[in-house]
Amino acid sequence: MSVPLYFVDAFAYAPYTGNPAAVVLLDRQAPDEWMRALGAELNQAATAFVAPRDDGTFDLRWMTATSELELCGHGTLAAAHILREKGAAITFHTLAGELHARLSDGSVTLDFPALPPRTVPRPAELDRVLPADEPVAVYRTDLDYLVELGSEAQLRDARPDLDALAELAVRGLILTAAATDGAKDHDFVSRFFAPARGIPEDSVTGSAHCALAPHWLPRFGAETITGYQASSRGGYVRVSQPSPDRVGLTGNAITLISGTLHDP
């Protein structure tokens, strides 16, 4: 069996930035066991498996090296980027429901569910994860803890205890802070950690911005603001919130490798 295979940097501003994803273009849905095995073999932050439906839409699944993701922004952006010749608007059917991608020029805008964070008292279990960092506030989303820190410098210096984090009953941890005064290319910063999902620190996390958009947009009073995920690779996500239950995530993608997977 020969299958088209691509490696894409998503939410990237240059090659080798953003979050890498593999995109596998199928002609029909594939067995779960095969997709999990290939996800482990490719060992990317996400491998996106795309299969066409008769109505012109697509089924989309995301695998890490160790598990399946219920929501993945950079894998969706990478898939839409590869499917660009299919048109300016693409619909995906996923575990998170129906997702839409709108393509214009070099960018892709994803229509994703909003995951508004809820303020919670600081859980004692976070004391082990962030022992040296005093948060401004702690929040809970449907997937993660979101912790706001006092400065961009504090966020960049944070060193969460990943072993302790992996034991918590959440997908992962979002850290965020306002951008340093005078920053010209971003309004807020973030980092994301999900060791229980095989992702010690993610490079750029679209799904985390489903919470970061409703968290930060009201403070700026703007329709669109830009987040910078301050990982070792780094990447930008422009966020908007067209309705209370949806967010827009916009970014660029770069295809680094295209080839053929030969599966016996």
Is the same domain home to 54 and 139?
no
- Cα(39)–Cα(84) distance, integer angstroms: 23
- Overall domain count for the chain: 2
Phi-psi region of 147 (alpha: psi -120 to 50; beta: other; left: phi over 0): beta
Is the same domain home to 80 and 27?
yes
Is the same domain home to 42 and 124?
no
- Work out the average pLDDT over 226-248: 97
Report the Cα–Cα distance between both ends of the chain, in Å, rounded.
6
Is the same domain home to 125 and 72?
no
Residue ranges making up the domain that contains 188: 118-248
Is the same domain home to 88 and 165?
no
**Residue range 161-207, pLDDT digits in tens:** 999 999 999 999 999 999 998 788 999 999 999 999 889 999 999 99
**Residue range 121-166, pLDDT digits in tens:** 988 889 899 977 778 899 999 999 999 999 999 999 999 999 999 9
Is the same domain home to 64 and 107?
yes
- Work out the average pLDDT over 12-25: 97
Is the same domain home to 152 and 132?
yes
Is the same domain home to 87 and 136?
no
pTM of the model: 0.93
Q: Give the CATH number, domain containing residue 139.
A: 3.10.310.10
Is the same domain home to 49 and 167?
no
Is the same domain home to 163 and 236?
yes
- Cα(94)–Cα(59) distance, integer angstroms: 6
